[in-house]
């Protein structure tokens, strides 16, 4: 249960020299990175996808067991059709090209968000790589695509209401009951949330799960964010004392 995981993490005082078990990243700055160089925004997104591969490979060696990345939000549909279609093509290409490598490296890949709006081919690729990597344990990689925290909470609330209406729950609903209806059911909550590019918004990313996460806002644009940048942030995380409301 997620709730039990949170209790264990709180009791152990994650931080205090220990690496975070679960890191979540808002990968911001791809478009600006390209624009600053006079290139189309999609060039920045392609470079950002290359950076994802490097960070994924680095995580197990620096003690990170869970990595969640924000790839496409429910608000990103407001962008130009050219950029949205280009991003979807990048997502399809990433899954197709990285499937063998992720499987060989022991990475389990999962997706959160509302899939129904995504094109059928992408949905099929997502389901395929989830099934193919389901037995892997070296790193749990979760990709948030067409994800919004408020949307997730609304969908979870509807699932919970349906369970109650069907008589599958008796008595008042608990936090654990709602957690079991989230996209992230069974995942530990993030210990650390990183946002790149200098912006200091949480942008509707994991609002329930990150309630007690530590935050780091990096000035570095995502295509320039290297494993060394990540390691520096993890070092700072290790100096924090996490009290979870205690003394």
66 is in an annotated binding site: no
- 192 bridge partner residues: 23, 214
**Phi-psi domain of 201 (left: phi exceeds 0; alpha: psi -120 through 50; beta: other):** beta
Distance CA 45, CA 41 (A): 7
203 is in an annotated binding site: yes
Distance CA 13, CA 237 (A): 12
Cβ atoms of 66 and 136 within 8 Å: the answer is no
41 is in an annotated binding site: yes
5 is in an annotated binding site: no
51 is in an annotated binding site: no
15 is in an annotated binding site: no
31 is in an annotated binding site: yes
222 is in an annotated binding site: no
**DSSP letter (8 states) at residue 189:** P
Report helix, strand and coil shares of the chain as percent, to nearest 5: 50, 15, 35
Distance CA 141, CA 126 (A): 13
103 is in an annotated binding site: no
Cβ atoms of 205 and 70 within 8 Å: the answer is yes
168 is in an annotated binding site: no
Catalytic residue status for 76: yes
Catalytic residue status for 28: yes
Tell me the backbone φ, ψ of residue 189, rounded to 5 degrees: -65, 150
79 is in an annotated binding site: yes
77 is in an annotated binding site: yes
Catalytic residue among 61, 65, 76, 140: 76
45 is in an annotated binding site: yes
Catalytic residue among 28, 177, 183, 189: 28
Distance CA 150, CA 206 (A): 9
Cα 139–chain centre separation: 13
In a 3-state reduction of DSSP, which class is residue 123?
Answer: helix
Binding residues: 28-33, 41, 45, 73-75, 77, 79, 195, 201-203, 214
- Extract the annotated binding site for substrate: 29-33, 41, 45, 73-75, 77, 79, 195, 201-203
Binding-site residue ranges for Mg(2+)? 28, 214
Q: Which residues are catalytic?
A: 28, 76
């Amino acid at each position: 249960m997620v709730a039990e995981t949170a209790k264990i993490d709180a009791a152990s005082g994650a931080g205090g020299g220990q690496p975070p078990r679960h890191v979540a990243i808002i990968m911001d700055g791809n478009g600006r990175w390209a624009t600053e160089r006079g290139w189309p925004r999609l060039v920045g997104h392609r470079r950002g996808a290359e950076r994802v591969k490097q960070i994924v490979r680095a995580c197990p060696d620096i003690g990170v067991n869970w990595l969640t990345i924000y790839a496409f939000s429910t608000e990103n549909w407001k962008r130009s059709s050219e950029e949205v279609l280009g991003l979807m093509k990048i997502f399809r290409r990433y899954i197709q090209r990285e499937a063998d490598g992720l499987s060989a490296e022991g990475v389990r890949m999962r997706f959160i968000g509302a899939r129904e709006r995504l094109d059928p081919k992408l949905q099929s690729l997502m389901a395929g790589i989830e099934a193919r990597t389901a037995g892997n344990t070296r790193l749990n990689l979760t990709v948030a695509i067409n994800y919004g925290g408020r949307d997730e909470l609304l969908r979870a609330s509807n699932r919970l209401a349906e369970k109650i209406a069907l008589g599958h729950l008796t008595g008042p609903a608990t936090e654990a009951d709602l957690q079991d209806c989230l996209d992230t059911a069974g995942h530990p909550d993030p210990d650390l949330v990183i946002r790149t590019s200098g912006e200091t918004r949480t942008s509707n990313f994991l609002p329930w799960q990150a309630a007690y996460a530590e935050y780091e806002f990096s000035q570095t644009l995502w295509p320039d964010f290297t494993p060394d940048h990540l390691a520096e942030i993890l070092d700072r995380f290790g100096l924090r004392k996490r009290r979870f409301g205690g003394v």
